[in-house]
Every structure is written in structure tokens, then in C-alpha cells.
Structure 1
Amino acid sequence: MSSYSSADDSYESDEPPELELDLARLMDCASKALKVKCTSAKKLTRGVGHEIFALKFRAEDATDATPPSLVHAGFSCIARLSRLGSNTRAKSASDIATAQYIRRYSSIPVPEIYYHDLDPDNDVGAPLVLMERMPGRNLNKIWDGLSLDGKKMVLSQIASVVAQLSCLEFDQIGSLADDEQGAVAVGPVISPCFDEPKGPFRSTGQWMRSFLPAVAAPGSSSAEAPPGSPDPCQEAWAALERFLAQDDPPLPYLQPPFCLIHDDFDGQNMMFVNPADDGSSGGPKLTGLIDFEYAFTGPRYFLYDYPIFIQDVSWSPELYADNATLRAHFVRAIHEQLPNAEARSTFIACMNNKCYALNGFADAFMSMPLDDGQPLGVLAKFYAQDLKDGTGLPYSGRLDYIPERYSEAAEALPSSDYDEDNNNSNNDNLDTQKKCALDGDHHDPHSGLTPQATQGVDKDVALTGGGDDGEEGDLGP
């Protein structure tokens, strides 16, 4: 990842070598695509996946055909040029299809795509996307400076995004792509964990199992297991199988229809304008959700969760009280914006039943590609053992955290009521599943609960905002 600050015009990252680009061709391509003369191309950042440029255009060339969003951005747009890697073309195509789908079927602010050429051998020198430049700054750049009320305003708008994404429904798990007729369809899952796309899948179990290699299937053995010893991948597979096998009655947040999920739903990919920055009145306003690489359709369990920036970490105990207040506000805000009673009930059931069986699996196998420093067998062994022993932590950031529980009206229950709440049908169902996953062992009913957010591999931020005065905004790390 890399970060860019307009204040000091400096870079802060371990950056890969520069792409070999023909900037004159880039500017010519942009001029033809937008039918306005491109006058400059300024590099904002380069990272593992992309190089990002801010392009400026000559205002006098504007016509009635000029995109209003280009005018609104001060005749500036973003050019994102991709490095070649596994699935680069499919990943970029899915990113574009996802952004366009969200623009068409929701009110979530996402960048308009002006032009794309995903051929790595094009005249510019790399796969290219020209897109709208969103105003504002990355949320992670302003969050710490906001008041508690300001943070609540931010979370209410993020809750609206979550509620709207939950309403974009699909019958399979996969990545969006344009089909042969030009319509958006669910295609194979594009993941940093896969060398090649897999699927699409019709069940949560099929999808999650795809992140373990075929050698982990029952009856086989992996090269990482010493002769005569239990195979760790088989153990992890079996633990997940036992958990999912108890889906009776079906858990609604794991069942179709599936919904659209942003793979890196963090402050670096949320753009906000904060009027207080220039002394104006009013609260922060969401201006853009960006960077849909690896977005996918999936179970609501992985959509309904706390943003990582309101989760507790042990080195910031001074934030515990505010974080608890903000988590409760976030849950109420989502609950209020869901479309019907069934959706609200599913949401509350999901928040009350976060579990190590699913989150621990996602953290171990679904977040990033494994390298030599993260052998699969080691991760599988720890996952299976933690699940069996009931030692999976509720939050990896804070050892003593016990997840909040919520009433059907989305009110946070006092901690003294948690045991009573465990008697409701949702938690009885979870206890049954956990007991099966633990293969009959008895454990503290809270020990396997976890609201950890599923974190995607770090990616370059695709866009940066420009203020009304034409100054560059911040680019998230």
C-alpha cells in the first residue's frame, strides 16, 4: 500500500518499480475518450497493484457531451493503470462491472467509469481505466479528528451503504462480470487466494471449502502432514463441515439469496467531505465508495459486521467506551434502514451469532494468499485446534472482549442479560452448532464467539478526491 498527502506532496510506502508508461499516449487517449483536451498527468501514487494519475483537462473545450461529473471535479479525473499479475484482466473487468451495477441499482455514490482498455499491450503500456474523481478525503484520514457525534453521522451513512448492498440479491456466490450479451452476471470468484477464479457456488459451504486445496478433502493427505499424523487441512475441513452440517433450521444469513459484499470495507475506501475542514457548518458527508477489486456476492454473514475502525484494540483502551457507543449506533442505523421485518430479524440474528468457526476460517484461509511464511498446514492446525478447544478469541485485537448482544429492536443488551439472551432460539441454534463443531466437547458458550471483520488483502486505493478548490485529496494507505 502507499499513501499520498497533498500537504507535503510525498510518498510513504515500499513501492515496486515504476510502470513503463507512455504518458503522451495516456493524455491523448484521455482526450479522445472524454472529447476534452487533457493538459497534464500527475502521478499520485504507485503500489503493488496500480499506478494512479490525476488527469487535468482544458475547461474551454467542454461541450454538452462533457460528463457533468468531470465538470464537477474541476475538469479532473483519475487514471488507474494496473500491474500485470494473476487474473489482472478479469479482476479489473469485475471491478468495473461491480461499480456500474451499484451505480445503476442503488444510491450509493461510486465513481463513474469513463473509459477502459484492459489490454496489457495497449499504446499506453498497461491496462487502463479512466474514472470519476470523487471529492473529499479518505475516511481513515479524518476519523480520529471527528467528534463522537461526527463519527455517528459517518456511521449512519455507512449503515445506509450496508443496507443497500444487502438488497442487491443473487442466487450464486461469485464475482460480477459482463456476460456475452453485455448484461451483468455472477461469474467465478476472483480472489487473491486463487491462482485461477473458482465457481460460482450455490452454497456457503461450497464456497468456503474452495479455499482449502483439494488435498484437504476427506480420505486424502497433504504434503505438510508427517506420515502417520492427522492431516491439518483435513482437520480444518472436517471442523467446518461439522459446523455447517448443523444448518437446521437453516441460518438465514448463510443462505441464498446472497448479496453484494465489498472485500475491503474500510476507511481507506470511503471518501468523505468534512465541512469543518474549512470552517463551514454541517457534518461529514459520504461522497464515494471506491475500489471494488475482489468484491463478490456472498452470504450476509460477511456483509453484516462492524467496520474495523470501531473494533477494540488492546493498545487503545481509552477508545473502548466510545467504540461500544458507536457499535450500538451502527447496529441501530442498519436496522432502521433495512426494508422489512424479515431482513431486520436476519440482521440481528447475524450480529448475535458471530462465531470463531466462520470468522476464524475466513481470517486463516480467505483473506490473503499464503506464502512461504504462512504454510497452509500450520494455519489449518491452529484453526482446527482453536475451534476444538474453544480458544478462538472474540476479537483478535482485545483479549477480554465479549461481543455485544442485541434485542429484536436493535437495542444493545446489558452484559448481565447475555446469559438470558443465550436462551433464545438463535443462540440455542448456535450452541448446538458449536457443540457439533467441537465434536462433543463442552466449552464456555462465549469462547467461540467472534465479531472479527473479514479483512481482504491490502490493495491500492483506486481513487482520490479533489476539493472544490482543485487541491488533491488524500489517498489512503
Structure 2
Amino acid sequence: MEGFSLDHKKNVLTQIASVLTRLAALHFDGIGKGKPFKSTLDYLLALIPEIAVDFAGYEELVETRQHLLEYHSSKSDAPCFGPLIRLIHTDYDAQNLLLVNSRDSSDKPPVLSGVIDFEYAYAGPLYYLYEYPIFFQDVDFSLGLYEQNAILRSHFVRALRQPFPKGSPDAIARWNDGTGLAYEGSQDYVPDPGPESDEN
């Protein structure tokens, strides 16, 4: 969204959030065919084999699996581990967003007319639905955008939470995770109940 004003970027993110909340309304019973995974935990554990495998890094995988099980046992009621299966797009990059500029005035924000490239879309855990679009994640070659990116992530979180009732699993499954990172879809901002402020 190079060349857009901050207000126009925020408006576009609100529109993207609207698309995501519509995808959140598509519920699936499981992930995969045959014996589908019924929860986020089942899905994640299936990615890490239980038996010994002779390859470099396996010990780290065993440790990761153990951490995952320990986390789940301490927070078994966390919505992110529940049977919340949604349609995941996987690639909200700028080139996959069709934006139409206003013919009347450059002061009007662009309109998101479509989202393309569902080639790798899949039914997956709700936890993965609310990924930060890549264009406002912090990367080392755009240090000058970090401050603005933080504002945009704050706005994006609020836009995602707004449509859902307070306490809804769809609203809290991702954003109460508290990882504190500003990249790879990990949230760095927990919204407060007050009015939006770009200073947060």
C-alpha cells in the first residue's frame, strides 16, 4: 500500500478485517479427510511425530511437542485449542488485494473490491485465521515503517474484535495470546475497552 496515507491504510485494513470476520463465520467440523483433526491441539501435535526419527533437529521437535502439551494442560480451556475450524486464506499480501481508487476524489479511501489467490486456502484452526498481513509486519529492510506498523496493527486488532460479542471465542482465540512479537502473525497489542488512539 505504498503511497497511501495512514488514514487510507487504516481504512483498507478495516475492510480486510471485515473479510476475515466473514471467513470466521464459515465453520467446519474438522481438518482433513478420513480421520479429521477435531481441535487445534490435535492438528499441531500431528505435525510432530511421537516416535524417534533419525534426522537433525528431532530433539528440538520433541522439546517443542512437550512444551505444547504442557501449555495445553495449563490452559486447556483456552479458545485457541478448541474445535474452532475456519477457512484460512494464508496469503493476504498486497498483490492479492484488489483495490479500486475513487474517481471523485483522491481524499476518499480505496475500496477493497476483491481478494484473490485462494490456491493454498485450507480448513484450519481459528488461531491461524487472524494473521497480520505481511505488508505491516516489521522487517529489517523497512525500519522506518516500524512506528507506523505498530499503529496499523493496533487498528487491525480493534477492527477484528469489533464485530464479535464480548467474550466470543472468535474474538479472543488469537489476540489474547500475548506473544509480544510484531512479525509472523504474532500480536504485539492487546486492545483496551476505550476509544481508539493512535498513541497506543
Alignment TM class, shorter chain as reference: 0.7 to 0.9
Query: Structure 1 residue runs of 4+, over 4 Å off?
Result: 278-281, 408-412
The answer (yes or no) to whether the contact 2:85–2:126 under 8 Å persists in 1 is: yes
Indicate whether 1:244 and 2:69 are aligned: yes
Rg comparison, structure with higher value: 1
Indicate whether 1:168 and 2:1 are aligned: no
State the partner residue of 1:235: 60
Q: Which runs of 5+ in 1 are unaligned?
A: 1-142, 175-186, 189-198, 226-231, 356-392, 416-477
Indicate whether 1:263 and 2:90 are aligned: yes
> Which amino acid is the alignment partner of residue 83 of structure 2?
P
State the partner residue of 1:155: 13
TM-score by length of 2: 0.81
Q: Distance in 2 between matches of 1:279 and 1:329?
A: 24
Q: Distance in 1 between matches of 2:59 and 2:152?
A: 40
The answer (yes or no) to whether the contact 2:40–2:84 under 8 Å persists in 1 is: no
> Which amino acid is the alignment partner of residue 294 of structure 1?
Y
State the partner residue of 1:36: none
Indicate whether 1:299 and 2:121 are aligned: no
Indicate whether 1:209 and 2:45 are aligned: yes
Q: Give secondary structure in 2 for the equivalent of 1:341.
A: coil
Selected match of 2:181 from 394, 404, 426? 394
TM-score by length of 1: 0.37
Indicate whether 1:352 and 2:176 are aligned: yes
Q: Deviations over 1:246-280 (max 9, x none)?
A: 3234210231131111121222211111126x866
The answer (yes or no) to whether the contact 1:272–1:288 under 8 Å persists in 2 is: yes
Q: Distance in 2 between matches of 1:404 and 1:168?
A: 26
Kindly state the Cα deviation for residue 159 of structure 1 after the two structures are TM-superposed.
Answer: 0.7
Q: Distance in 2 between matches of 1:151 and 1:171?
A: 35
State the partner residue of 1:407: 192
**Which structure's residues are more often strand, by fraction?**
1
State the partner residue of 1:129: none
**Cα RMSD between the aligned structures?**
3.1
Q: Which runs of 5+ in 2 are unaligned?
A: none
Q: Give secondary structure in 2 for the equivalent of 1:394.
A: coil
Q: Distance in 1 between matches of 2:193 and 2:28?
A: 26
Residues 409, 255 of structure 1: alpha-carbon distance in 2 compared, 3 angstrom cutoff: farther
Kindly state the Cα deviation for residue 407 of structure 1 after the two structures are TM-superposed.
Answer: 2.6
Give the alignment of 1:111-190 within 5 angstroms.
143-174=1-32, 187=33
Indicate whether 1:287 and 2:145 are aligned: no
The answer (yes or no) to whether the contact 2:102–2:108 under 8 Å persists in 1 is: yes
Residues 274, 165 of structure 1: alpha-carbon distance in 2 compared, 3 angstrom cutoff: same
The answer (yes or no) to whether the contact 1:154–1:286 under 8 Å persists in 2 is: yes
State the partner residue of 1:253: 80
Q: Give secondary structure in 1 for the equivalent of 2:120.
A: coil
> Which amino acid is the alignment partner of residue 352 of structure 1?
N
Q: Distance in 1 between matches of 2:100 and 2:16?
A: 14
Tell me: higher relative CO, structure 1 or 2? Use CA pairs within 8 A at least 6 residues apart: 2
